[in-house]
Each structure stands twice: as structure tokens, then as C-alpha cells.
Structure 1
Amino acid sequence: MLRILFFVLLVLVLGGGFAWLADRPGDLIVTFAGMRYEVTLMVAATAIVAVVAAVMLAWWLIKSIVRSPYALQRHFRARKRDRGYQSLSTGLIAAGAGDAEAARRMTKQAGKLLNVDQEPLIKLLEAQTAMLEGRTDDARTTFEAMLDDPETRLLGLRGLYLEAQRAGARDAAQHYADEASKLAPHVEWASSAVLGRLSAEGDWDEALKLLDARKAGQQTDKETVKKERAALLTAKAISTFDSDPAGARTIALEAHKLAPDLVPAAVIAARALFRQGDLRKGSKILEAAWKSSPHPDIAQAYVHARPGDSTHDRLKRARHLFALRPNNPESSLALAHAALDAGEYALARENAEAVLRMAPRESAYLLLADIEEAQTGDQGRVRQWLSRAVKAPRDPAWTADGYVSDQWAPVSPVTGRLNAFEWKVPVEQLAPVIDIGQEVRGPEPETPDVPVVIEQKPERVAEPQQSSRGDGAVAPVADEKPKLKPAKTHETAPQADDEDIKMLVVDDPGVAPEDRADNRQARYRLF
């Protein structure tokens, strides 16, 4: 565009100049070698312009002839480079698609057309091709060669890290991640791996430094940064709670301020306040967290806020939690546990059954087994609750990347991702929904004095009977009880011995009647 504008301006200037000369006629006299030449001014100006144009044309021709070999060489070199980059691009696409043959062919072609030392992507294509063909040693050698070039050093560390992980060499993989983290702290895979190691070692100060260095080179959402820092501070407060309660309190309060919805931060902050006698402030933190998201850890910390409280005092605090979030499974479970400890069996049973109506889960059935053992000592009913607990949906747990843990952690042990644990029902442990209308009624009463006939439906599994070996062994109790009806006179078999009469519910083997009272306070847990 600028060249066109310059050309137009030049034409305008020449046209204006010739028009000006035409309006002012004159002669030009030149004496050269004894000869006198006289021409008009217009002819002289035209001749001068023609001479200048001829000189410029001649110069352009001479220059083009002189530079033609270099121009041809540059043209062929650019064409070769373009073909090389086309081969490189095709090879990378083939490697990404898993076409090892095409990737190998394009690697050789790109190596002939491009300079390997000047184009680092050829090394990447070579490594990818070697990995596709299973030549792990060649791939590792190529990645190691990348370490010598500053441009490809990070890429080489990444490849060596992945190869070490595939080979199961965790120490080597961690070494490469450490090197990459020092070189580029903002790289996610390297910093996540180092954070996982620091978390496993409990070096929270270094983890916080690495987090600050990583966020300095990234444009990350401020809320995400706050939550990740709060997770590390919470873990540090938990680790220093026993050795330095005062320092743990400061750290935990900072974490809770950064992420008020983080349950472990609220729990450890409240526990640190309780340790120093600040019951009021700690209770307010737990109550606010409970209103936001009820959690068993919050209920445990709130109910046992004061050491030495009686069971009725803890029951009172549990009632207060229940009032904050009524009609909630966690509220009912917390109140049921406190009522069981206080001996309020009717209240405990009522709330445990309320959990079954709202959200059936394993812990509710186990709690009913505890209540049955403590209230009646009926081992048959206890076993029925336990058998139903086996088939019940599992309770929520701390889950991160498929890993299930009883305790919260700041990073995922699988990927090293910060703040990855979530409180939810593990996907692989989801169970079908249980018919609440039948479960809440509890076990069927026994009929000890009337002979019975067991009527089974094809799709139902009858209650297991007592073993005829006489050793007291009992099969597992089924979920559905068979239908019982009194035997008619004309259908009743001849009188059998007492050993042949099968009862549906029997006592546990090896439990003597005199030992039953000592075991009433036991707590049933399946795992």
C-alpha cells in the first residue's frame, strides 16, 4: 500500500514539474568539445528524466543477474524447509493418532529435510515414535538428549517423568518432577507431584512456598488460590495441633477465614479454640459451618467440645445441632449417637429410623444394631440389622480421584492435585435403594410355641436355618423373612424331636446366656 502511494505521488510530482516548465518556455545552450548545442528547456528536462530511468533500469538488471544464484538457492531452501515442516506436522498428527508406521516415515523424511539441531520438534517426534513402537530405551535416550538444550529441557523432563511413572520408578519420577518444578514452578504436573511428596512428608512450609511460586506465574482465579492455600494451612494446623496449640489456632483461623466452607478448617479451628478454653467462639464457628454443610466431623467436635461433660450434657448439645438443621440425616445421626450414649434408647431409635426414611445408609443400620444390643440384647434382631447394613448404601466419605479415605487430606494421593477431596458417596460403592417402608418396621417377632410351615416364593430367599450338625453354626441371615403361617392339622407331620424343629432366629454361637449382659455395650462395625 505504501509503495502504491509513493508511486502515485511521484507521478504527480513529475506531471506538475512538466506542467510548470511548459508554462515557462526557455532554451538550454550547452557547449561541449567546441560544439554548441541549443535545445528547449522541455526537451532537456525530458532527456534528463529518461537518462535517470535508464540508469535505474540498468542497475536493477545488473543486480538481479548478480544475485540470481543466491535467490535460487534461497528459493529451494525455503521450499525444502516448507516440505520438512509439512512432514513434521504430519508426523506429529500421526503420532497423536497412534499411527506408528506413518510417524516413523515422517520422522525420517523430516530429518532429511530439516536440521535436527535447529528444530527441536524432530526430537519430540522421534521420542513419540519410539514410545508408539515400544522402544522405551530409545525414547528415554531421546528425552535425555533434550536436557542439554535449554529450549527442550522442560520437555525432556516431562518425558522422563512419564516414562519413570510407567516403569514404576517412583523415586526417579519424583526426581524429574523436582527438577522441572525448580525450572518452571508454574507447571501444573511438576508442582502437583512435588506437592504430593511434600504433603506425604508433612513439609507444609515448603509446600506453601511452592504454592506461592506456582501462583506467581499463573493467572488463576483468586477464589481457587484462597481455597488451595486454606487446604495447606489446614493440614499444617492439624499436624501441629498437639505440639503447638497456640500456633495451630492462628494457622487454623487463617485457613477458616480464607475458606469458610472448608469443613476440616472449621473443625481444627474450633478444636484449637476449645483447647485454649474459648468455648463460645469455637462453638460459633462450628454452628456456622453446620448450617452451611452438616458433617459428622462437625457434630463430633461440637458434641465433645468440653472434656468431662456428662452424656446428658452432650445430648443437650446434640439437640441444639438438630434444631439448627432439622430434617437432615446428619442431624438425626448425631442426635441418635448422643441419645444412645445417654441411655435414651427410644430417642436414639426414633432418629436412626428417621435417617432410614430420609437417606438409608450403612451407619444407620449399624447404629440400630448398637441400640438393639444395648436396649434388648436380642442377638437375632442385632444380626438382622447387621445383615441389612451389608446391603445398604455406603456412607459418604472423603473421595479424590477414585481414592477413598476416612480422613481428609489437602492433596490427592493419586495425582497430587490440591484440594481434591470431596465428601460424597464413593461411586464404586453405590448400592440400590432399599425399600424404606419395610426396613423401618424392624425384625419380625418370633413365634416360639407354634409349629410353623415355611412358605417360600421362587424369587425370595428364605431365612437360613440352624445347622443340623449340632455345633451351633448359623448361616448368614437373609434380607427377607419367609412368610409364616400356622400348620393345619391334616398337614402336620408326625411329632418330631426337638432337634428337628427349625427356628428362624437363633442366638449367636458360643455366646452363653450369662455373658450376654457383658456384651450389650459393644459397638458393631463391619470394617
Structure 2
Amino acid sequence: MIRLVYYLALSLLVALGAAWLIALPGTVEIAFGSWRMSPGLGTALFVVIAIIVLAIVLWAIIRRVIGAPAAIARANARRRERAGVEALSDGMIALQAGEFARARMLARDARTKLPDNPAAQLLEARAELALGDLSSAREHYRALISSDRTALAALSGLYEQARTQNRSAAAITFARKALAISPSLDWASEAVFDDLATRGAWADALDMSASLPARTRAQKAAKKRRQGVLETALALAIEETEPDTAYEHANKALKAIPDFVPAALVAARILINRGDTRRASSLLRRVWRASHHPDAATLYAHVKPGASALERLKRTQALIETPDSHPAAAIVLARAAIDAYDWSTARNALAPFVRKSPTRQMCLLMAEIEEGQSGDQGKAREWLSRAVNAPADPAWTTDGITSDDWAPASPVTGRLDAFEWKVPLETRAPTRAPSQATPDPLPAPAEPAQTQPQPSS
């Protein structure tokens, strides 16, 4: 309704303007040869305005006619571009959906319609890589690598192709080139870093890890732990050749990962070699209380070079006041007592655990106790037999393998910080049948320690 009112008001104003223009007083004299005209002033103005408007309309029509071929060409180009973009979009969807043959077909269609768009060629290369047509994919990537816009995407594709073909050296070469272009590129940084860790180039890996960005809280925590692991790896590698430098790296590792057992063992060994037994003992005592790792307690017992087995037992007893608090404490104390021929202490340390479900190492220690204390070969064999099916003890474990010593990376995959101190799942013993006989773990009461020659070490 309001629009109609506006239209009527505008029409009225135009009509009033035309009437006012025509009614203007005065005349205009127009002479052309023998031809004379004397129209009114308003009429002459109206005619002039009408001629101008007509000329404008005619020129617009003529321009449309003249420019029709170019307009048609532009319309076709726009329609072709829209079809190309649609094919490119459908191709990306098909690639993500796993329809690689359809993705390649759509990519080729997009390349035909969008010859200057590198995304279409990149899509075709990705589809060919997924289809296993590696030679064609490589040619596309090599063509894209010359452009600054597509160089990183091409290097990423070449890296993936090299990994698919198990060409590790070529893959790392492409990753290094991508890293040179963009130092913050995540996939290239991880690839180069993993290569350094796999080769054991700990110093280079440590420098590179320090330069890698960490944006979120989780990334910062992961970077801090990675730094600690690398510091430990470097300390372990140069412990014998450069002990002072190794000690500095071990301390840095302990600052990054407090009570990290591998780093603490390196630092403690270096302190022992320096003769600084007080600091070594303090460090090992702290790590033992935090982790209950047997290696920390064992090294604590041996902190004084040349100490006798009885002296090592006394140090172990000072460290482990309640052996029944943890299985590792009982095992370490029993081992030290057996070395000192203190059979009753060894038996009593294991007693709370062998009554329930002794581990493999506990069974082996009980076999030593039976043979050493009473010379009972039968009970010793029973314990050895029981050890075969007993639950495994914790060990450094990764990728289906176990190790007595920690290593910075997995020997199977090269993954950094792969070893964990835990019970290997694949070695868990099957449940023993209830009817199967087991030896009595604790003959009562425990006998006093027999007098036997004490070993010197």
C-alpha cells in the first residue's frame, strides 16, 4: 500500500513538472535554411529532454547488440567456472568418502574447466596416489612443486608417496625441504624429528625439539616430557665419555620429569664414580620412594663401591623399612638377603606375597632360598616349576618386547619415549587350576640365619 502511494505521488510530481515546463512563457526561434519554427520555451525544453533520453536508450541498445558476443562468452566462462568448482567440490567429497576413481574423474573434469586452478591437479594427484598409480601422482606433484602456492602441498604428497613405497631417505628429504619453506609445519617437523630420534642423533633432536612450537597446555606438557626424555637419552649416550656433561643433561631431565628413573640412575652412577655417595644416596632414596623401581633400590645398595654383601643388605634394610608395602620392595630386600646368606630375612620379606600370588621372580627367589637354606632340591624344583606359569614381573616394555634396561626409543618402530615400566601383557600367566598342587610357601617358623661365609661383593 505504501509503495502504491509513493508511485502515485511520483507520477503526480512528474506530471506537474511536465505541465509547468510546457507552460513556461517565451518562445524559441529555430531557423534551418528556409525552415523556421517558433515553439514555446517549455515545449522546446521538453523536446530536447525527450531527444536526449531517446538517444541514451538507442545507444544502450546498440551497445548491447555490439557487445552480445563478448557477453555470451563471459556467461559461458562463468557457467564453465561454476561447473568446474562444482566438480572440484564433488571430487573432494568423493576423495574423503573413499571413491578414489570417481574423485580422479571429477578432478580431470575440473582441470578441463579450470585450467589455471592448481587445486584440481592436486586433487587428481591425491586420487592417483590413493589408487596406487604412483608414477602419475609423482608427475603431478613434481609439476606442482615449482609453484610457491602449491609447493608445500606437493612436498606433502611426495612425502606420503615415499612412505608408501618404504623409501625412508626420500621421505625425509621431502620433509626437510618442506621444513625449510615453513619451519612451523607440523607434519614435516614430526617427520624430521622422528628420523633424528631413530638415528640416535640426540643432540640434534634436542635442539629441534626446543624450537618446535607448543600452543596448548597439553602440547606444552608433551614438549616438556619430550625434552626430559631427550636429555636422558643424550646423558646415557655420553655417560662414559663425557660424564660431567652427561650429569648436566641428567639434571635437566630430572627438572623436566621429576623422579624420572632412567635419568636418576645416570646421575647417581656419575655421582658414585665421583665419590659423592651422599648426594647419590639422597637422589636414589627420593626416586625409590616416588617410583618403587627396583633399579633405584639396587643401585642404592651398591652406592659404596667394594661394600660387602652384608653391608649392602644393611643399606637395603635402611631404605626398605616395610618390605610388605610393595612387591618390588620385597624382591629387592630378598635379593640382598640371599646375597648375604640371610635366608630368614629373605623368606620373611617374600612371605606376605608368596601366600597369595607370587610373581615369577618371587618364585625364583624362593627356589634359591629353599636350596640355600635347607638344601631341599625337591621344593626348589617345585618353585622353579611354579615360576614357569607365574605372573610376570614389571619390565621395560614396548611394542611387544621387554628389556632389562630403559631405552629412549622403541627398537621396533623408532617411537620416542615408547618404553613403559609395567607387566608385559603377553606374558601374563594363565589361571592355575584349583586342583593343582602348590608348595607351601612358608614352613613355620622362619629359621634364624645360618652361619655361612659372607661374600665380599
Residues 114 and 120 in structure 2, CA contact (< 8 A), matched pair in contact too: no
For residue 118 of structure 1, what is the aligned residue in structure 2? Answer: 117
1:4-153 alignment, distance < 5 Å: 33=29, 69-115=69-115, 118-132=117-131, 134-153=132-151
Q: CA deviation at 1:247?
A: 1.6
For residue 288 of structure 1, what is the aligned residue in structure 2? Answer: 286
Residues 329 and 358 in structure 1, CA contact (< 8 A), matched pair in contact too: no
The 1-side partners of 2:319 and 2:41 are apart by 119
For residue 428 of structure 1, what is the aligned residue in structure 2? Answer: 426
Q: 2:319 aligns with which of 302, 318, 321?
A: 321
Alignment deviations for residues 121-142 of structure 1 (CA, whole Å, 9 cap, x no partner)? 533433433542x433333444
Residues 187 and 214 in structure 1, CA contact (< 8 A), matched pair in contact too: no
Q: Secondary structure at the match of 2:325?
A: coil
Q: 1:266 aligns with which of 245, 264, 267?
A: 264
Q: CA deviation at 1:201?
A: 3.9
The 1-side partners of 2:343 and 2:48 are apart by 120
For residue 397 of structure 1, what is the aligned residue in structure 2? Answer: 395
The 1-side partners of 2:279 and 2:118 are apart by 63
1:247-262 alignment, distance < 5 Å: 247-262=245-260
1:344-359 alignment, distance < 5 Å: 344-356=342-354
The 2-side partners of 1:235 and 1:208 are apart by 10
1:108 is aligned with what amino acid?
Answer: R
In percent, how many aligned pairs have the same letter? 36
Alignment deviations for residues 36-62 of structure 1 (CA, whole Å, 9 cap, x no partner)? 9667xxxx9x99999999898888777
Q: CA deviation at 1:412?
A: 3.9
Q: CA deviation at 1:264?
A: 1.4
The 1-side partners of 2:55 and 2:323 are apart by 97
Q: CA deviation at 1:343?
A: 1.1
Residues 185 and 213 in structure 1, CA contact (< 8 A), matched pair in contact too: no
Alignment deviations for residues 99-138 of structure 1 (CA, whole Å, 9 cap, x no partner)? 34433433433333332x5223533433433542x43333
1:192-341 alignment, distance < 5 Å: 192-215=190-213, 221-323=219-321, 326-341=324-339
> Kindly tell me: are residues 29 and 145 of structure 1, through their superposed partners in 2, closer, same or farther at Cα, counting changes over 3 Å?
same
1:211 is aligned with what amino acid?
Answer: S
The 1-side partners of 2:268 and 2:47 are apart by 101
Q: Secondary structure at the match of 1:120?
A: helix
Residues 186 and 216 in structure 1, CA contact (< 8 A), matched pair in contact too: no
1:114 is aligned with what amino acid?
Answer: L
Residues 316 and 336 in structure 2, CA contact (< 8 A), matched pair in contact too: yes
The 1-side partners of 2:370 and 2:239 are apart by 38
Which residues of structure 1 form unaligned runs of 5+?
1-7, 445-520, 522-527
For residue 34 of structure 2, what is the aligned residue in structure 1? Answer: none
Q: CA deviation at 1:338?
A: 1.1
1:199 is aligned with what amino acid?
Answer: A
Q: CA deviation at 1:229?
A: 0.7
> Kindly tell me: are residues 49 and 420 of structure 1, through their superposed partners in 2, closer, same or farther at Cα, counting changes over 3 Å?
farther
> Kindly tell me: are residues 336 and 181 of structure 1, through their superposed partners in 2, closer, same or farther at Cα, counting changes over 3 Å?
farther
Alignment deviations for residues 151-195 of structure 1 (CA, whole Å, 9 cap, x no partner)? 443344444444444434343344344444444444444434433
> Kindly tell me: are residues 155 and 30 of structure 1, through their superposed partners in 2, closer, same or farther at Cα, counting changes over 3 Å?
same
1:441 is aligned with what amino acid?
Answer: D
Residues 31 and 37 in structure 1, CA contact (< 8 A), matched pair in contact too: yes
Which residues of structure 2 form unaligned runs of 5+?
31-37, 444-454
Q: CA deviation at 1:242?
A: 1.4
The 1-side partners of 2:185 and 2:195 are apart by 16
1:362 counterpart = 2:360 = yes
Residues 234 and 264 in structure 1, CA contact (< 8 A), matched pair in contact too: yes
Q: Secondary structure at the match of 1:221?
A: helix
Q: CA deviation at 1:311?
A: 1.6
> Kindly tell me: are residues 68 and 385 of structure 1, through their superposed partners in 2, closer, same or farther at Cα, counting changes over 3 Å?
farther
> Kindly tell me: are residues 50 and 144 of structure 1, through their superposed partners in 2, closer, same or farther at Cα, counting changes over 3 Å?
same
Under a length normalisation based on structure 2, what TM-score does the superposition of the two structures give? Answer: 0.75
> Kindly tell me: are residues 57 and 281 of structure 1, through their superposed partners in 2, closer, same or farther at Cα, counting changes over 3 Å?
farther
Residues 351 and 441 in structure 2, CA contact (< 8 A), matched pair in contact too: no
> Kindly tell me: are residues 358 and 193 of structure 1, through their superposed partners in 2, closer, same or farther at Cα, counting changes over 3 Å?
farther
Q: Secondary structure at the match of 2:240?
A: coil
Q: CA deviation at 1:294?
A: 1.5
Q: CA deviation at 1:256?
A: 0.5
Q: CA deviation at 1:433?
A: 4.5
Q: CA deviation at 1:257?
A: 0.9
1:421 is aligned with what amino acid?
Answer: F
Q: Secondary structure at the match of 2:146?
A: coil
> Kindly tell me: are residues 215 and 383 of structure 1, through their superposed partners in 2, closer, same or farther at Cα, counting changes over 3 Å?
farther
Q: Secondary structure at the match of 1:222?
A: helix
> Kindly tell me: are residues 199 and 101 of structure 1, through their superposed partners in 2, closer, same or farther at Cα, counting changes over 3 Å?
closer
Residues 349 and 371 in structure 1, CA contact (< 8 A), matched pair in contact too: yes
Q: CA deviation at 1:268?
A: 2.0
Q: Which protein has the bigger helix share?
A: 2
Q: CA deviation at 1:230?
A: 0.9
Q: CA deviation at 1:244?
A: 1.9
Q: CA deviation at 1:298?
A: 1.8
Q: Secondary structure at the match of 2:304?
A: coil
Q: CA deviation at 1:211?
A: 1.0
Residues 234 and 255 in structure 1, CA contact (< 8 A), matched pair in contact too: yes
Alignment deviations for residues 258-296 of structure 1 (CA, whole Å, 9 cap, x no partner)? 110422122222333333333333333323322222212
Q: CA deviation at 1:300?
A: 2.4
Q: Secondary structure at the match of 1:410?
A: coil
For residue 498 of structure 1, what is the aligned residue in structure 2? Answer: none
Q: CA deviation at 1:317?
A: 2.6
> Kindly tell me: are residues 50 and 131 of structure 1, through their superposed partners in 2, closer, same or farther at Cα, counting changes over 3 Å?
same
> Kindly tell me: are residues 95 and 48 of structure 1, through their superposed partners in 2, closer, same or farther at Cα, counting changes over 3 Å?
same
Residues 363 and 389 in structure 1, CA contact (< 8 A), matched pair in contact too: yes
> Kindly tell me: are residues 404 and 180 of structure 1, through their superposed partners in 2, closer, same or farther at Cα, counting changes over 3 Å?
farther
1:272 is aligned with what amino acid?
Answer: I
CA RMSD of aligned residues (A): 4.2
